[in-house]
Amino acid sequence: MIRLASLLLLLIGLYGVLTTKNVIKMIISINIMELGVNIFIISVGFITNGVAPNLTEHIDSSLSNFVDPLPQALVLTSIVIGLGITSLGLAFARKMNKKYGTYDLTMIGGMKDE
């Protein structure tokens, strides 16, 4: 079920990128897409009524079924990377706006862009 939700989010993100002309909206839709993928990563490691995978001295590791810790580690990095790209994109969008006065990519195509 979560996987369907994440797939849907991915498609919404893609749709967003395809249809908007405004750069800010594009970056937002990429965020949605990345969100979808992150949720999917989490869902890969999920086991119904599993236990959080932190070893403490009084829990016997062989008995309880731990949720798979690896995707959770991966998702952390992926979120950080998503953050990095979004901030970079917004910075460039602001500079573009300052230079060309618009957020609309198609408008810039025709201007003095030799």
Partner 1 sequence: MTFITVLITLLALSVVTYLVSLINNKLGAYFTIVTSLVTLLLLFLLKNSIGQLASISLFTFKLTTVGWYFSMVMVVVYFTSAFLNPFWMKKMIYPAAYNLFYLVSLIGTIGMFFARDFITLFIFWETVVWTSTFIIQMGKSRKSSYVYYVVSAIGSMVTLFAMMLVYQVSGTLEISVAFNALTGQPVLALIVFFTFLLAGLSKIGIFPFHVWLPMAHGSAPHTFSPVLSGGLVKMGAFIAYISVSAFAAYEAFSSSFTIMGIPAPIYIIMVLGAISIVVGTVMAIRQDDAKKLLAYSSVANGGYILIGILLFDQLAFAGGMLHLVSHAIASATAFITIAIVAHRTGTTKMSKLGGMIHKMPITYTVYLIAIISMAGIPPMGGFVSKWLILQGLADHGLLFIAAAAFFGSIGSFMYVFRPLSAVFLGQLAPKHENVKEASIMMQIPMYLLTIATLLIGVFPKIILKVIAGIQAEAGIQEIVMVGNTIVVANGVLDTFRVFVVFGYGFLIALVIFILRRKSRRVTLMDTYTSAEFVHTPELLHYSSNFYAPFERLTKKPYPVLNLYEKVSIKIKEIGHMAESLFSSPKPAVTIFWIIIVFAIFFLGGVL
Partner 2 sequence: MNNPVLLIIIPLLLAFVSVIIKKAGKWILLLGVLINTVLAFFITTGETIIGGFLPPAGINLVVTQFTLVGVILINSLMLLTIIMSIDLVGKYSVILLTALAGINGMLLTGDLFNLFIFMEITVIAAYILSAQAKKYHHTITYLIIGSVGSTFYLLGIILLYHLTGSLNMADVAAKLPLLTTKELLVPILLIFIGIGVEVKLLPVSGWVKGVYAHANRLIAPLFASIIAGTALFVFGKLFVSVLPLSDTLTMLILVMSVMTFVFGEFAAFKQKQVKEILLFSSIGQAGLITALFISGLVYAAVILIISNVVSKLIMFTIAGAFTEKYQTDNYHSLSGVFVHNKITGIAFTIAALSMTGIPLLIGFYAKLNILIGFFHAGNYVLPVIVLLMTIVEGAYIIKLLLALWAPGKEGQVSLESFAVEKKQLLSVKNTAICLIVALVLIVGGTLIDTTSKIVTNGQPLLGDESPYFIISQSKGGE
Give CA–CA dist 41/71, Å, rounded.
6
**9 touches partner 1 by CB under 8 A:** no
At residue 80, the 3 state secondary structure works out as helix
Least separation in angstroms between residue 80's CB and partner 1 is: 23
**22 touches partner 1 by CB under 8 A:** no
**71 touches partner 2 by CB under 8 A:** yes
Instruction: Enter the tokens of residue 84.
Output: 């990095």
Q: Which residues contact 44 (CB under 8 A, 6 or more apart)?
A: 68, 71
| Contact in structure between 111 and 70 (CB atoms under 8 Å) | no
Q: Which does 100 bind (CB under 5 to 8 A by kind): partner 2, partner 1, none?
A: partner 2
Q: Which is nearer to partner 2, 33 or 58 (CB)?
A: 33
Least separation in angstroms between residue 43's CB and partner 1 is: 21
Q: Which is nearer to partner 2, 58 or 108 (CB)?
A: 108
Give CA–CA dist 69/30, Å, rounded.
26
Q: Exactly one of 6, 9, 10, 26 binds partner 1 (CB under 8 A); which one? A: 26
